Amino acid sequence: MKNTEQAIITIDDAIVQADNLSLFYGEAQALFDISFAIPRHQVTALIGPSGCGKSTFIRCINRMNDLIDGLRITGSIKLDDRNIFDRAVDVIDLRRRVGMVFQKSNPFTKSIYENVIFGMRIAGINEKPILDETVEKSLRRAALWNEVKDRLHESAMGLSGGQMQRLCIARAIAVSPEIILMDEPCSALDPRSTAHIEDLIRDLNGEYTIIIVTHNMQQASRISDYTAFLYEGELIEFGPTNRVFTVPVKKATEDYITGRFG
Amino acid sequence: MTTNIHSAIDSLKQHLLYLGTIVEEGIRNSITAVRSMDPVLAAEVQAADSKINALEVNVEEDCLKILALHQPVASDLRFVVTALKMNRELERIGDLACKIADKVLLLHAARKDAENPAEIVFPQEFEVMFVTTQAMFRNCLDAFVNEDADLAYRICLQDDEVDEAKRTIRRQLEQIARTDPGQQVFLPMQLAIARGVERIADHITNTSEDIIYMLQGRIVRHEEQI
């Protein structure tokens, strides 16, 4: 097939820039020389078979991997031109700028209200009017306000799975991050709750940079502007989702998304 | 319905090729009917149209099932989209073969009704149209089966030859009608046959452009030079 497009495109307005990023768990190398830029205020999906390094890569962006014994990283990830692996970087501040939503929703055993403002309390913000405003704004943004506004002080553990996941998104939004990382946020949800989260991701697009790991090809094609395909720790292809899902440049991408392997 | 997208696509390909084979037979028979002024063969072409229509519906249903149940992407998506469009083009080619057969029946009747039954004079350029169009169709199916984009590109270029032959035929038929008034009664049907073959070549060209999209992901339909 004649395809003259670049397998890994360049991005003009990037918020995250990975350069020659390699990651080792002890002797085992999990990421190989990954270089690409993630566009600001867009949704970027990371796809690839299990164990290809998707989650490892996004966990680098807010240094969630730091606590793993024997972990070693070479290369860099720049967030607005600053290498996040510099010793001088404040990891707490980095994680405020780069929020995360996990595969399994993980609300704290506190009220809905306290869940949303948890990050603000840690930052020492306790003024009730500010907290009230943040709770309403974040829950509205996460499309959960109408469902919980009358029970804000009830336990978050009484919410449905889909509501819990939206609460986690509200909690991430509450500290005004620039980037939201999502690691398979819908994998434990039913189709209706999944649709809620997908609508929310589209709605947040343009205001936040969202980087989402998903095993669901249709989800990646529905919600993302750009798609990166990783295979065995290497970045194989990165480009506009519309192109990757209609005319992929690399045969490995083609074979993976059409279900011929992986 | 198979649960595996690749089996479903293989099955769709077989159904589409079978439709292509039946349509090819329709083109061949309609052209043979013109050459031999054979009303029986012309009637056979018309009778086969219902089979083509039924096959077209089956192929469309195959495509819709794959789209609904498997949500194909990349080359699979391009294949299904091409199959949908190709299916429609093939059915229209089948209709045009019927129209050519209809003109054969009209010509045959007109010759019988003429006071002095005359041989119908067909300009030699008709043969150019017939041979070129049949070769285009055969190559189009080959390009589809063998995934040969270069062949599909060459088919698109051949369409100009058919268009030129049709223009020549028009001029020659008008000349014949002027010099031999007995031939005038046949002129509208002969022109309709030339127009029918020319439109078949147009549909083959459309299909070849779709095959290029299927293989290369490139839409060449409105490009000046492909």
What interface predicted TM-score (ipTM) does this complex get? 0.73
| Chain B residues touching chain A at CB-CB below 8 Å | 5-6, 71-78, 149, 215-217
For residues B104 and B213, what is the distance between their CA atoms, to the nearest angstrom?
Answer: 36
Per-residue pLDDT band at A1 (split at 50, 70, 90):
very low
User: CA of B83, closest CA in chain A: separation in Å?
Assistant: 16
The DSSP H or E segment spanning A224 is: none
CB contact under 8 A, B6 and A259: yes
For residues A78 and A88, what is the distance between their CA atoms, to the nearest angstrom?
Answer: 13
Q: Give the three-state DSSP class for B187.
A: helix
* Contacting residues for A254 by C-beta, under 8 A, at least 6 apart: A248, A260, B74, B75
Looking at the partner chain, which of B71, B77, B215 has a beta carbon nearest the beta carbon of A246?
B77
User: CA of A225, closest CA in chain B: separation in Å?
Assistant: 16
Tokens for B36?
Answer: 């031999």
Q: Where are the beta strands (DSSP E) in chain B?
A: none
- Stretch A50-60: mean pLDDT: 95
Is residue A74's pLDDT more than 70? yes
**Type of residue at B146:** N
Q: In this structure, what CATH number is given to the domain that contains residue A61?
A: 3.40.50.300
User: CA of B74, closest CA in chain A: separation in Å?
Assistant: 4
Using CA atoms, how far residue A81 sits from A37, A76, A194, in Å, is 11, 10, 34
- What is the widest separation between alpha-carbon atoms in chain A? 62
Q: Give me the number of domains chain A comprises.
A: 1
Write down the pLDDT at residue A3.
57
Residue A3 in contact with residue A249, Cβ under 8 Å?
yes
Domain boundaries, chain B: 2-216
Q: What stretches in chain B show pLDDT beneath 70?
A: 1-3, 115-117, 225-226
pTM of the full predicted structure?
Answer: 0.82
Looking at the partner chain, which of A2, A218, A254 has a beta carbon nearest the beta carbon of B74?
A254
pLDDT tens-digit readout, A86-142: 999 999 999 999 999 998 888 999 999 999 999 999 888 999 999 999 999 999 988
pLDDT tens-digit readout, A203-218: 888 899 999 999 999 9
A247: contact with B, CB 8 A cutoff? yes
Residue A258 in contact with residue B75, Cβ under 8 Å?
yes
For residues B214 and B193, what is the distance between their CA atoms, to the nearest angstrom?
Answer: 32
- Suggest the residue from A247, A251, A255, A261 to mutate for an interface test with chain B (most B CBs closer than 10 A): A247
Write down the pLDDT at residue A262.
55
Which DSSP state fits A209? Answer: E
State residue A74 phi and psi, 5-degree precision. -120, 160
Range of the domain at A38: 14-108+178-257
Q: Give the three-state DSSP class for A21.
A: strand
Percentage of chain A surpassing pLDDT 70? 98
Chain B residues lying within 8 Å of A4, measured CB to CB: none
Residue B126 in contact with residue B35, Cβ under 8 Å?
no
Residue A162 in contact with residue A197, Cβ under 8 Å?
yes
Write down the pLDDT at residue B225.
67
**Type of residue at A221:** S
Is residue A177's pLDDT more than 50? yes
* Contacting residues for A99 by C-beta, under 8 A, at least 6 apart: A62, A172, A173, A175, A177, A179, A180, A181
* Contacting residues for A186 by C-beta, under 8 A, at least 6 apart: A165, A193, A194, A197, A198, A214, A216, A219
Is residue A154's pLDDT more than 50? yes
Q: Is A249 domain-assigned?
A: yes
Write down the pLDDT at residue A138.
94
- Suggest the residue from B3, B69, B75, B147 to mutate for an interface test with chain A (most A CBs closer than 10 A): B75
User: CA of A103, closest CA in chain B: separation in Å?
Assistant: 24
Residue A31 in contact with residue A57, Cβ under 8 Å?
yes
Q: Is A154 domain-assigned?
A: no
If one counts every other C-beta atom within 10 angstroms of the C-beta of residue A88, the result is: 6
State residue A208 phi and psi, 5-degree precision. -125, 160
Burial of A201 (0-12, 13-18, 19+ CB in 10 A): buried
**Type of residue at B154:** R
Can you list the alpha helix ranges (DSSP code H) found in B147-186? 149-179
Tokens for A74?
Answer: 């070479």
Q: Is A170 domain-assigned?
A: no
Best CA proximity match to B51, nearest among B9, B95, B14: B95
Best CA proximity match to B12, nearest among B23, B22, B1, B21: B1
Architecture of domain B2-216: Up-down Bundle (1.20)
A221: contact with B, CB 8 A cutoff? yes
Is residue A67's pLDDT more than 90? no
Is residue A39's pLDDT more than 70? yes
Per-residue pLDDT band at A66 (split at 50, 70, 90):
confident
CB contact under 8 A, B78 and A246: yes
CB contact under 8 A, B217 and A245: no
Q: Is A135 domain-assigned?
A: no
**Residue position matching structure tokens 């999209």:** B213
For residues B19 and A20, what is the distance between their CA atoms, to the nearest angstrom?
Answer: 53
- Stretch A39-48: mean pLDDT: 97
For residues B226 and B224, what is the distance between their CA atoms, to the nearest angstrom?
Answer: 7
Task: Compute the radius of gyration of chain A from its Cα atoms.
Answer: 19
Per-residue pLDDT band at A231 (split at 50, 70, 90):
very high
Write down the pLDDT at residue A189.
83
Q: Is A125 domain-assigned?
A: no
User: CA of A246, closest CA in chain B: separation in Å?
Assistant: 4
Percentage of chain A surpassing pLDDT 90? 81
CB contact under 8 A, B73 and A221: yes
Chain A residues lying within 8 Å of B74, measured CB to CB: 245-248, 253-254, 257-258
Write down the pLDDT at residue A2.
46
